[in-house]
Amino acid sequence: MLWRVQAGRRPGGGVCVAVDVHYRPGGGAQAAAVVAADATFGRLLSDRTGQVAEVPPYHSGQFYLRELPPLQAVLDGMRLLIVDGYADLDPAGRPGLGAHARAEFGVPVIGAAKTAFRTATCAVPIVRGESSARPLFITAAGMSRHQAADLVRHMAGRHRVPDALRRADALARGRAPRP
């Protein structure tokens, strides 16, 4: 697999990272990491993007196989990872992207999903900003769901989706991040 690192430098030890991956219409993927010194993401340290030329096709229940290779292009030395998605897919602990990322990278992972997943009844819904009708659904691997929900609730930004995740999404899509 071809890895091409584009911008920024690898995060140093003990940082918190919010990530997202965008799949290109012509194939491949671009991952983005937003790096902060603490879990509130109030003071951003750097951004990093990386591309992978080929990704496996999507298979239900195995999203992590598609998502982890691009993330490896941008992650190193973190102490907490926040992903756009789920850590657990059901109360029995069926692993989602976050659980697989925890196993791969060895750090606590928070899953912050924008849409409800029918079997993820263990997710903690939280409301941020003015979005009382549209919660985020929080799951975690390597820490309690309620602790993870509290961290996401207090992340920087006044919108439903924390600023760090919004920025990672924009960078992964190759767009200039919104202020």
Can you say how many angstroms the Cα of residue 175 is from the centroid of all Cα atoms in its chain?
A: 17
**pLDDT beyond 50 at 4:** no
Q: How many Å apart are CA 163 and CA 179, to the nearest integer?
A: 8
Q: Which two tokens stand for residue 29?
A: 């993927």
Q: Which two tokens stand for residue 142?
A: 């390597």
- With respect to residue 156, please indicate whether it lies within any of the assigned structural domains: yes
- With respect to residue 155, please indicate whether it lies within any of the assigned structural domains: yes
The Cβ of residue 6 has, within 10 Å, a number of other Cβ atoms equal to 15
148-159: pLDDT as tens digits: 999 999 999 989
Pairing outcome for strands 109-113 and 78-83? parallel
Write down the pTM of the prediction: 0.74
- pLDDT at position 147 is 94
**pLDDT beyond 90 at 99:** yes
Burial 67-89 (b: 16+ CB within 10 A, else e): bbbbbbbbbbebebbbbbbbbbb
- pLDDT at position 14 is 65
Q: Which domain holds residue 141?
A: 3-172
48-57, 67-76, 143-152: lowest mean pLDDT where?
67-76
- With respect to residue 132, please indicate whether it lies within any of the assigned structural domains: yes
Q: Which two tokens stand for residue 64?
A: 């992590």
Q: How many Å apart are CA 59 and CA 48, to the nearest integer?
A: 27
Average pLDDT, the chain: 83
The count of domains in the chain is: 1
26-57: pLDDT as tens digits: 888 888 888 888 888 888 888 888 888 888 87
The CATH number that applies at residue 64 is 3.30.2170.10
| Closest C-alpha among 18, 52, 10 to residue 164 | 18
- pLDDT at position 90 is 92
Residue pair 41/158 in contact (Cβ under 8 Å)? The answer is no
- With respect to residue 179, please indicate whether it lies within any of the assigned structural domains: no
